[in-house]
Structure 1
Amino acid sequence: MIPCRAYDVGVLVDLFADCDIAIDPELLDRVPSLRHWVKDRRSQAISHAESGSSLGSGPKQHWDTQHRKRFLDEMKLRGFSVKTIRAYNGQVDRYMRYCAAHPAPSESSPSASRLSEYSLHLLDSQHSHAYVNQAISAVKFYLQHVGGLVESEAYLRPKKERKLPNVLAREEVMRLLQQTVNPKHRAILYLTYSSGLRVGEVVRLRLKDLDRERKTVHIRQGKGRKDRVTVLSEAAYEVVEAYLRSGYADRAGWLFPGQQEGKHLTERSVQKLFEQKLREAGIRKEVSVHSLRHSFATHLLEGGIDLRYIQELLGHQNIRTTEVYTHISVKDIRRIRSPLDWQE
């Protein structure tokens, strides 16, 4: 089963980009961005028919197996994370496909001069500003380190959108945790919330990373390949101990082993677990498992914990990233009364 979300459907579409894909009309209504994709595919087909070209000709020749391998090697040499490599590879692939479908007569290969045109295409397709900026960064990296281009022109980027994260109330978090009975699942969700972990961090925990005496969790090589130390809840550790007694844990390896021997649990498994428990708890908010991390930070701030400490616990390099939680905290908002409630 594949979740019906724009991102996941987009990944599926990219994987089968060269195939004919039939899309149910109901899915088109639920994922509007797919309508733009269908429109693009139709325009590509018309363009290829008129020019007699295919995705394998024209600019596509600059994105063959050899160029792709060089691109991946350049990213690996610079220590890019697996997620970034996967995302950049997909972005450049889509850019090359766009250039092949919309050939520019004045140039023989894709270059940075077409990035503005491509950015407008993405924005018209209802992609987020963050998505467009990532596409620009990926193509720029490819052109500079694989294409050998030295661009003097400025890269115009859409202004970064300021979106507030969705969080759960403490009562909702407790309801979700109490809804979880399986010892392994309880330990995963308890640690994720109580320590403010990313899903990629919780699945890669080992038992040695939990220090009960110091009440800390050691996160090794988290986002940005940085180690950090965050808080370990006594209640969460008791849940972990119950999980260890159940016999499902691997005390010598991953704290949460996956189905494949020697592998940790997948991030997608945790996401599916959270979505299931969310439904069982009757919570209707548009939240993901990452919202537990947002909720952790927000609840700390509402509890009077200094923003700098929260920054350290979350592993944010820039305090401005952490400051977003000041906009969703209700600690001070609760003191304000709406004019409608004022008494004469």
Structure 2
Amino acid sequence: MGIIKLKKQVRFTAVPSVELNPTALESLFKLEKALVLKQYSDSSIQVYKKMFSVFLGKFMNRNLKEVTKEDIEGFVYELIKKSKISESYQNQLINAIKAYYEHALKMPREYYDIQRPKKSVSIPNVLSKKEVLNIIQSPENIKHKAILHTIYGSGLRISELLNLRIADVHSDDGYLFIKDSKGKKDRKTILPEQLVLLLRTYYKAYKPSYWLFEGQTGCKYSTSSIRSIFRKAVKDTNSNPWATVHTLRHSFATHCIENNINIRHLQNMLGHGSPKTTEIYTKTIEINNKTIISPLDSLLKNNTLHG
């Protein structure tokens, strides 16, 4: 057996929070107002505000128009060294700073020429087809079952499922219409025949009025409820504990590639702006002698036939 090397775990230190003064709070409001006018999503605005608050904690006693690019780079470098912030954290922080200067203060883009961290390439976590089947079939509640089937069957993000209207289900034409998905783009994705049958059963039982999946008061279903449904299904089926609801979307994409679905069609169904984003799933397909024939097997099998 070879030597196994354990990679040293990097410990992240919490970035200290600072109570903002009235001037800083005014700057935070300016950023929020600018992002609302730019039609950023509520979740994105919250992330930008959180990140910009970290920046304000350092510079709130200065005139922000006079903060230089070198000041900002030094600030980010300090967080990298002291708090060991992740690449994702760095990018979110820089995006928030850029958004403030560009959208709120209307300063020129050249001001934001900040060195970005190189984004690491990671392979999405994917469930086997058997695991997916066990998970989505696990709930006894028909609504819960329909929710998990829809996320996997059509490759949806949680937000896209929550925003589905009854009118978005085009059962005759076999597609779901996804309005204002990530990047404010509309798109169509596949509506499986088996999902249509399940949704009809669900609809007769619950009779939603506007949203396809509604809470008890008739408003949209909640993100936390969907995550709770998924976690219970994973636990009840003893499936991969690292899986999240988004893993169903990753699994949908991977299984489509394994079924030889055209990468361009998959890109459109997932709503990716670039085929490079979709091509990451080619690295997640199951590699074994059942999915791929080795040249060795071909050579020896042909030699046996002709021998």
TM-score tier, shorter chain, comes to: 0.7 to 0.9
Partners of 1:107 and 1:67 lie apart in 2 by: 9
Kindly tell me: are residues 149 and 205 of structure 1, through their superposed partners in 2, closer, same or farther at Cα, counting changes over 3 Å?
closer
Query: Does the CA-based 8 Å contact 1:311-1:319 persist in structure 2?
Result: yes
Partners of 1:78 and 1:224 lie apart in 2 by: 12
Residue equivalent to 2:138? 179
- Aligned partner of 2:96 among 134, 138, 143: 138
5 Å matches for 1:97-246? 97-99=57-59, 110-124=67-81, 125-147=83-105, 149-150=107-108, 152=111, 154-246=113-205
TM-score (norm 2): 0.83
Deviations 1:204-254 (A, max 9, x none): 1122211111111111111111111110011112111121122x241x311
Q: Which moved more, 1:88-97 or 1:236-245?
A: 236-245
**How far is 1:114 from its partner?**
2.6
Partners of 1:85 and 1:155 lie apart in 2 by: 21
Residue equivalent to 1:91? 51
CA RMSD in angstroms, aligned pairs only: 2.9
- Aligned partner of 1:258 among 215, 227, 230: 215
Residue equivalent to 1:274? 230
**How far is 1:188 from its partner?**
0.3
The residue identity in structure 1 corresponding to 2:235 is R
Partners of 2:212 and 2:235 lie apart in 1 by: 26
**How far is 1:257 from its partner?**
0.9
5 Å matches for 1:313-328? 313-328=269-284
The residue identity in structure 2 corresponding to 1:137 is N
Kindly tell me: are residues 32 and 257 of structure 1, through their superposed partners in 2, closer, same or farther at Cα, counting changes over 3 Å?
farther
Partners of 1:274 and 1:204 lie apart in 2 by: 18
**How far is 1:164 from its partner?**
0.9
Q: What is the aligned-residue identity percentage?
A: 30
Confirm whether residue 69 of structure 1 aligns to residue 25 of structure 2. Answer: no
Q: Which moved more, 1:209-218 or 1:152-161?
A: 152-161
Q: Secondary structure at the match of 2:213?
A: coil
The residue identity in structure 2 corresponding to 1:243 is Y
TM-score (norm 1): 0.75
- 5+ unaligned residues in a row in structure 1: which ranges? 1-30, 45-53
Count of matched residue positions in the alignment of Structure 1 and Structure 2: 286
Kindly tell me: are residues 230 and 331 of structure 1, through their superposed partners in 2, closer, same or farther at Cα, counting changes over 3 Å?
farther
Partners of 2:148 and 2:112 lie apart in 1 by: 47
**How far is 1:146 from its partner?**
3.0
Residue equivalent to 1:335? 292
**How far is 1:302 from its partner?**
0.5
Q: Secondary structure at the match of 1:208?
A: helix
Q: Secondary structure at the match of 2:221?
A: coil
Q: Secondary structure at the match of 1:221?
A: strand
Q: Secondary structure at the match of 1:189?
A: helix
Query: Does the CA-based 8 Å contact 1:177-1:190 persist in structure 2?
Result: yes
Query: Does the CA-based 8 Å contact 1:249-1:255 persist in structure 2?
Result: no
Query: Does the CA-based 8 Å contact 1:96-1:110 persist in structure 2?
Result: no
